[in-house]
Every structure is written in structure tokens, then in C-alpha cells.
Structure 1
Amino acid sequence: MGPGLIVPPIFSPIPPAIHPRHTEIDVQTAAWAETFRIGSEELRSRLVRQDIGTFAARILPAGRQEVVSLLADFVLWLFGVDDGHCEEGELGRRPGDLAGFLHILLRVAQCPEVPVLQDDSLAAGLRDLRLRINRYGTAGQAARWVDALREYFFSVVWEASHRRADSVPDLNDYTLMRLYDGATSVVLPLLEMGYGYELQPHERDRTAVRAATEMASFIITWDNDIFSHHKEKGTKGYYLNALRVLEEHEGLTPEQALTTAIAQRDRVMCLFVRLTEYLSDHGSPQLRQYLASLAHFIRGAQDWGVSSVRYTTPEDPAGIPSVFTDRPTDDGAEPLDIPVIAWWWDLLPPVPAHRTVHQQVQRTA
């Protein structure tokens, strides 16, 4: 197949950063995958070449190395579940059976000492991850991690129901579930662990902070859908991403869907920068660190998305950019026409006309 859609440089006002031990972390994660035999041998050989340790090192560029390694191992484990069972495995078209398997995995995450799935490599890896979560995090962070894992599992079962029916959800439903099935929420407790603090509930649960977190998830998952479109469309099986949703339900051509998806994420990125600046000005040092970590998560996913062989697919090169732009294609202040997220735009006063997004992100990051 040819290059398909050519993705232009994506708007990214967030500067790149990476942990200085990223090479070592990547090697350690490959070794961890082999130790716990994550996925089939063929899947594992693919995953260990995808620079997942480097991805984690971009998310926590100044974090504790032990937590960066934990995050890297966890992301690889998530791909073992998503690629091995949801997208490529038989359970991916059997939502009931998939729910049953994930329910038992959730029990392992809750209580790693419970004697279930004792011969399952994913369960063994999850037990190790949970013990390390306990070591580097608080009881509250461990509980939130398990809760987020439940959200992720629930959302991939929803996706499996569409895979079985060969159906495509509408944009509103897809947007809501993409906040969870992109597995961004399960990373959030590790953002705190990486820097050795715990965000207090009155800040974490504040509506505007929750919105900023969801915006980061939206940007990360929309970017992923844009960068992975070539790989996913080239597979012989079912695939689901924002571009396909826009084509199916908005009647757009592939090129129009790409342009629309980029405009949507650009508008959310502009709002994210404005909101996180506002929150940083009025928040604790811990909240400022958390918001900075959300920005690193966004940019880390972007840098990884345009460089990892997972998406560049050298055997069938994808038309994705190697650079970014500092100019959004859409910096409108009106809500996107997606009801489940339109409330995000109600949380801030109008942006001052004299201040640009670029100026704002320098203060946030």
C-alpha cells in the first residue's frame, strides 16, 4: 500500500523533554517483557522494538527513574492486553468473554495475592506492577490506579461490541469512550508517583482540573488516531478511530476527516493551554507539577507517535510528519460540537486578545 493520507506538521506549543536515562530504561523494559513473557513471542518481539521506555521517559523527564521504568513496563503491559486480546486476539470480537477475562485481571490488580490466573503471563506481569505501585505510591494512588484500570477495561469491552457488530459509533459516543479506551487515565496516578507527591482531593477533583485532565486525554488520543490511521487502515480487520468516525457519520472524505480531526485537537490544545495557565496561577506547587506533567504527557505522546516504528511502519511507510508547528489550524474560542465535552469551554473567562497561546504555554511548562 502507498503512503495514504499525508499528515501535515501538528500544532504543538509544548517543548519536548526526555529523561536522561531513557536508553537504559528502554533496555530494562524490553528485559521486563521477556521476563514475564508478555504476549505471544511475535507480539513481544514487536513491542520491545517500539521505544516504549523512551515514551515513558518523555512523560516523566525529571521523574524518579524507578517510576519511569514502572510506567514503561505498564504501558508495554497495556499494549499486551490491547494488541494481544482486544485488537488482534479472539476475545476482541467476544465482548462477554473479554469482560470475564478482564474482570479476573482486575481482581489481580486489586488483590495480587489472590490465586487466580496463576499460569497467565499478563496476570503475572500485573502482579509485579501492582507490587511496585505499592512501593512507590500511596494507598490512595494505588486505589485510583485500580479504578482507572476498571474504566479502561470497561471501555475496551464497549469497543469489542462494535468490533463484533462491525459498527462505528457516532462522534459523541466515540469521544466519551476514547477518554478511557486510550488508557490515558491509568497513567495519571504515576504522574504523581514520578515526583513523589500526592495531589490533594480538593484540587484533583475540582471541575476545572478534571477538565484539563480530560483535555489532555482528548489531545493524546486524537493525535494517536491521526498518527496511527495509516497502520490501522492497512490492517485486514476492523479498526476504529476518529477519522473513520468522521468519515462514517459526517460524510467526509479521508482528507476532510483528517483536516477536521486536526482542527478539533488544535482547538482543544488552545483551550488546554489557557486553562492550565489559569489553574497554575491559582494552584499549589503540587498542582503546578501535575499540570506540567499533563503537558509532558501530551508532547511525549506526540514525539513518540511520529518516531516509533509502531506508527512509522517502515515496511509500509506512513505519511506522518517529523516536525511540529507552532500555529494551530483552529484557535476558535467556541465549544466543539461534541456535547460530552462542550462544557469544557464554560470554565474560563475569554482569553485576553493580547496574549498568544505560545506565550501562555511558556508559563505553563
Structure 2
Amino acid sequence: MRIFAVSALREPPFLAARHHGTDLAAEESTAWAQSFGLITSGHRLDRLRRADAAGLAGRACPEAPLDRLRLLTDLISWLFVVDDACDEDGLGSAPTRLAPVVAGLMDVLDRHGDAGAAPPAAGALGAALHDLCRRVRAAGHPALLLRFVSRLRDYLLALLWEAANREHRRAPGVAEYVQMRRHTGGVHPSFALTDLALDGLPDAGPQAEPALLAVDTLAADLVCWCNDVFSYAKERVAPDGHNLVTAIARETRQGEAEALLAAADRFNGALAAYLAGEAALLATGDEAIRPVLTARRNWIRATYDWSLVAARYA
């Protein structure tokens, strides 16, 4: 699938870079996951290492302080653990099975990283999530903490949507899939920590501008759709249809080859729209939004480069 992706997807025209502390962050993040009990077997340890969370974070934040790189790496590791538990270990096979876990994690988010301990009912996932929220809170940007928590709530609720689809063997249409994929991908909470890592947070006003929101959404779509094309070979055996290629094939009744090309065309069109939107924002001369655009560029490029080498979808 990598050969097809490289040939069909337009390479993002952004500078590629990798943080010098990536390897150290990988070691420390694995130890962090083990310390919270997120990894309980050799198989899961190998699975997390193959996911290469630090490789993705190091490309998304190539110039961040090391502690901020670690924070993003730990979040991505946590997201990989949750996704694998849902997709491969059966946690997401039905909403009734997933709902108690989501409720415990929502309880953690409602505490907004306060100094107390995580609620015991939240388990290992909740304890690790509480640690992430605590560290975001300690960074001293309350608005970003609220944004981070809100986006993680969206992610958890979207996992329940996936679980309901699996239980009922329901295949979502393309428009529905595209909307929900922005949340199931965990991209927006990752964007929040990338903004924190660059320490270039705009005021709430610029963040709410429609033009910047549109570019932010395009960046999230590009990250998710790039992932879908690269991971399709692994995910096409799943019956639930949670992949852009599968959603296109089922809705349009196209064959696999045509659906792959349609997904690639969608990515390429969104990249062109992103570049146009970014250029328009930069032309305004508002320097407050430049760090945010840099962060989104980094993420788009990082996902493409990480997908080329990560063993997660090999």
C-alpha cells in the first residue's frame, strides 16, 4: 500500500524535520506507559513500539522543548493504546462494553488535571489520562487546557459511534465518515499539544476566525485521510468500514482500485485547498496565526513521512 500511496498522494510541499530528542522521548514514553500499566504483555509492548509515537511527535514538533515533545509523545502513545484496545482487543466491539470505560475517562476529564489522584474506577487508562491533563494544566494556559479536554471528549464519544457501527454491522456513508473521522483520529487534541509545544498560542479571537477554522479542519482531514490510505491494506479486512477508501467503495459501488484513487484525489484536492487557505491567511500579515499554521504544516508533513516508515501499517 505504501507504493500506491507514494505514487497517488501528492507529497506535502513542506520542510521535513525530526526532533533531535526523538529517540530519548521514545524510551521515556514507553517507560511512562509501562509505569501506568498501559502495557501488560510483551505483545502489547511490541505493538506500541511498532506504532512509533515518538517518531510521529518528533516530526510534528521538531523544535519543541523536550518536555513538550514528551507530553505530545505520551498523548499519542495513549491514543494508540486506546485505539488498539478498541480495534484489536475487542473493547470497541459494542457500545455497552466501551461505555463504562468512556464514563470513567470522562470523569477524569471533568477534573481538568487537578492536583488530586485520578478516580480509581478509571483504571490504567484513566490514571495515564489524568497525568496528561495534570501536565497540560501545569503549563499555565487555561484556555488550551479547556480546548484539550473538550477535544478528548469528542474523541471518546466518537469511539462510541464506531462501537455502535460495529455492533450493528453498519457502514457509514462518506459524508458521515469524514465528519466523524476528524474525531476518531484524535487529531485535534494532538494539535492542541503541538500549539502548546511551540508556545505560540493565539488569542481566542484569531482561533475562532472562520478562515483559520477552515484551514484547521483541512489539516485534520489531511492527517486522517493520509493515514487511511497508508493503513488501508491492514484495515480492509475489518468488516466495520471505518476507512475512507472503504466508505467510498461502499457508497459509490466502485471497486477497490477506483476507491483508492478517489481517496487519493480527495487528499490531493484538500491539500490544494489547504495551501490556498494558508496563503490567504498569511497574506493578512497577522503574525499571531503564523505559529499555528507552522504547527499544522508540521503535522501534515509528519504524518506523510511517519507513514512511509512506521511498522504499524506494514
TM range (shorter): over 0.9
CA contact (8 A) 2:38 2:124 kept: yes
Give 1:15 deviation, angstroms: 2.1
The correspondence of residues 42-61 of structure 1 with structure 2, limited to 5 A, is: 42-61=43-62
Give the whole-Å Cα distance in 2 for the aligned partners of 1:115 and 1:233: 37
Structure with higher Rg: it is: 1
Call closer, same or farther: CA 1:276–1:39 in 2, change over 3 Å. Answer: same
- For residue 154 of structure 2, give the secondary structure of its aligned residue in structure 1: helix
Tell me the CA shift for residue 100 of structure 1. 3.2
Counterpart in 1 of 2:259? 257
Aligned to 1:100: 100
User: In 2, distance between residues paired with 1:191 and 1:286?
Assistant: 15
Q: Measure how far apart 1:101 and its partner are.
A: 1.8
Closer, same or farther: CA 8–62 of 1 in aligned 2, 3 Å? closer
In structure 2, what is the equivalent of residue 286 of structure 1?
288
Distance 1:157 1:63 in 2: 33
2:170–2:240: 8 Å Cα contact kept in structure 1?
no
| Alpha-carbon shift at residue 105 of structure 1 (Å) | 0.5
State the AA in 1 paired with 2:194: L
Root-mean-square deviation over aligned CA pairs:
1.9
CA deviation after TM superposition for structure 1 residue 251, in Å? 0.7
Query: d(CA) in 2 for partners of 1:176 and 1:238?
Result: 16
Cα distance in 2 for residues equivalent to 1:6 and 1:257? 12
Residue equivalent to 1:304: 306
Equivalent in the alignment of 1:358: none
Matched letter for residue 81 of structure 2: G
After alignment, is 96-105 or 144-153 more displaced? 96-105
Q: 1:120 is paired with a residue of what secondary structure? A: helix
Preserved CA contact (<8 Å) 1:22 1:54: yes
Give the equivalent residue in structure 2 for 1:231.
234
Q: Which moved more, 1:5-14 or 1:169-178?
A: 5-14
Q: Distance in 1 between matches of 2:93 and 2:3?
A: 28
Give the corresponding residue for 1:30. Answer: 30
1:74-133 Cα shifts (integer Å, max 9, x gaps): 11101111111x212333122144233212202212315365235721111112111111
User: Which deviates the most, 303-312 or 5-14?
Assistant: 5-14
Q: Which runs of 5+ in 1 are unaligned?
A: 313-365
Within 5 A, what are the aligned runs for 1:56-205?
56-84=57-85, 86-111=86-111, 112=113, 113=116, 116-117=119-120, 120-205=123-208
**Cα distance in 2 for residues equivalent to 1:301 and 1:115:** 32
Label 1:154 to 1:254 Cα distance change in 2 as closer, same or farther (>3 A).
Answer: same
1:347 corresponds in structure 2 to none
CA contact (8 A) 1:58 1:300 kept: yes
**Residue 353 of structure 1: aligned partner:** none
Query: How far off is 1:153 after superposition?
Result: 0.9
In the alignment, structure 2 segments of 5+ residues that lack a partner are none
**Paired AA for residue 110 in structure 2:** Q
> What TM-score, normalized by structure 1, do the two folds share?
0.80
Give the C-alpha shift of residue 226 in structure 1. 0.3
**Higher helix proportion:** 2
- Does structure 1 retain, via aligned residues, the 8 Å contact 2:14–2:301? yes
- Aligned mates of 1:191, 1:115 — CA distance in 2: 24
Aligned pairs (5 A) from 1:322-333: none
Question: Percent identity of the aligned residues?
Answer: 25
Further displaced range: 182-191 or 32-41: 32-41
Query: What displacement does 1:17 show?
Result: 1.3
Q: For 2:156, what is the secondary structure of its paired residue?
A: helix
d(CA) in 2 for partners of 1:262 and 1:40? 37
What CA distance in whole angstroms lies between the structure 2 residues aligned with 1:158 and 1:79? 18
- The count of aligned residue pairs is 308
Answer yes or no: is the 8 Å Cα contact 2:241–2:247 preserved in 1: no
Q: Distance in 1 between the 2:102 and 2:60 partners?
A: 26
Instruction: Provide the C-alpha distance between the structure 1 equivalents of 2:250 and 2:40, rounded to a whole number of angstroms.
Output: 33
One-letter code aligned to 2:300: I
Distance 2:140 2:49 in 1: 26
1:137 to 1:251, Cα distance in 2 relative to 1, 3 A:
farther
CA distance in 2 between counterparts of 1:63 and 1:143 reads 21
Greater alpha carbon shift after TM alignment, 245-254 vs 97-106: 97-106
- The answer to whether the 8 Å contact 1:5/1:255 transfers is no
